[in-house]
């Protein structure tokens, strides 16, 4: 058998309700029908997805992974149905499909989308890198996208780009009790002998850019740890096991100190892109992004000093010193 949307919706319903009988009600099916469908899916996959308990069902580790992937696939299918639906079948309020790259700015602004864009129903996705977001924007599957791109010539795109920050330096996370923690700034070349932690799920140009900059500094980074969970990555850095690349506006993490690199050899642009039909929404969102980013800068004293000393890095945004005086 092939898994289809009906199987994925069944898995999602059981995982959400933690009960086969409640899932059956949601799916408008009988409990025996759902139980039979589940047995067939588990037989097809060759593994158990749920454990039956007196209080309902719980996910097995494999089941949790399958349920997560099922939800992601269903979200994509629902979005496709919405895009392709005839105009008379679409919701009265316009739908705005926004993609955000995971970063401190994303966390700061995500909760404000409803107030910034009250005219639309927002569909939001967050990705670890910019590769998928830019592809979806070019394909028409996204209307707006906020992402970070290394300081390389931008790839050709049909989207309208608005650069929020021209040069955001990348800081290096080091162990707070290690010898590098006492340094005011680091030289990239001196980090040749260290091990690094990197994110394997980053689909954008950052991994290649990082290695290119290290090669220009005379070494190939030894990426010993591959970790998509940045809490775990920070724990590895705090333990002195590896160095990692961090945003300059990252929140303080126990045991980790963020250090600038002399000459800013690692940097990225913060970009908001949209199609031509959503320029007005993009302008409204850009204004809020600017305010949110200045809040992050003001809360990071070391970066705030760099920010005020490098106005060309952010010609669209003022120094934080100016903001304080205005306040």
250-296 confidence digits (pLDDT tens): 988 999 999 999 999 999 999 999 998 899 899 999 999 999 999 99
Q: Which ranges constitute the DSSP H helices of the chain?
A: 5-17, 20-27, 31-45, 61-84, 104-109, 113-116, 131-139, 206-216, 230-238, 279-298, 301-309, 320-326
pLDDT on residue 93:
59
The pLDDT of residue 208? 92
CA distance 100 to 107: 10
Ranges of the chain whose pLDDT falls below 50: 88-91, 325-327
Closest CA to 274 of 88, 105, 151, 117: 117
Residue 211: per-residue pLDDT: 95
Half-sphere exposure of 149 (CA within 13 A, CB side): 20
Per-residue pLDDT at 327: 41
Task: Give the CA distances from residue 154 to residues 30, 203, 212, in Å, rounded to whole numbers and listed in that order.
Answer: 54, 15, 16
Tokens representing residue 15 in the block: 């995982």
Q: What token pair was written down for 38?
A: 């589940």
Phi, psi (degrees; rounded to nearest 5) at 100: -125, 140
Q: What is the pLDDT of residue 79?
A: 64
């Amino acid at each position: 058998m092939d898994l289809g949307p009906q199987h994925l919706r069944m898995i999602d319903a059981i995982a959400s309700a933690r009960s086969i009988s409640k899932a059956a009600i949601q799916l408008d099916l009988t409990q025996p029908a759902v139980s039979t469908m589940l047995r067939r899916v588990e037989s097809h996959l060759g593994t158990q997805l749920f454990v039956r308990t007196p209080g309902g069902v719980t996910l097995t580790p494999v089941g949790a992974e399958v349920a997560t992937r099922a939800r992601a696939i269903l979200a994509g299918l629902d979005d496709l149905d919405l895009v392709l639906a005839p105009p008379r079948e679409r919701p009265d309020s316009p739908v705005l499909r926004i993609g955000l790259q995971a970063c401190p700015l994303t966390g700061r602004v995500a909760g404000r989308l409803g107030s910034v864009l009250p005219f639309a129903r927002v569909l939001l996705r967050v990705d670890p890198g910019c590769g998928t977001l830019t592809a979806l924007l070019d394909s028409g599957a996204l209307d707006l996208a906020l992402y970070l791109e290394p300081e390389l010539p931008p790839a050709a795109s049909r989207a309208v780009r608005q650069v929020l920050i021209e040069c955001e330096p990348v800081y290096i996370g080091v162990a707070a009790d290690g010898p590098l923690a006492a340094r005011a700034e680091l030289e990239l070349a001196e980090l040749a002998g260290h091990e690094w932690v990197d994110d394997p799920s980053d689909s954008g140009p950052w991994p290649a850019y990082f290695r290119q900059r290290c090669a220009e500094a005379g070494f190939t980074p030894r990426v010993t740890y591959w970790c998509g969970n940045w809490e775990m990555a920070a724990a590895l850095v705090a333990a002195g096991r590896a160095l990692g690349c961090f945003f300059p506006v990252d929140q303080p993490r126990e045991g980790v100190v963020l250090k600038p690199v002399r000459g800013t050899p690692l940097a990225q642009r913060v970009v908001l892109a949209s199609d031509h039909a959503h320029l007005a929404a993009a302008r409204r969102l850009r204004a809020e992004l600017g305010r949110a980013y200045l809040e992050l800068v003001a809360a990071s004293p070391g970066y705030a000093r760099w920010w005020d000393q490098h106005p060309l890095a952010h010609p669209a945004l003022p120094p934080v010193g100016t903001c304080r005086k205005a306040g």
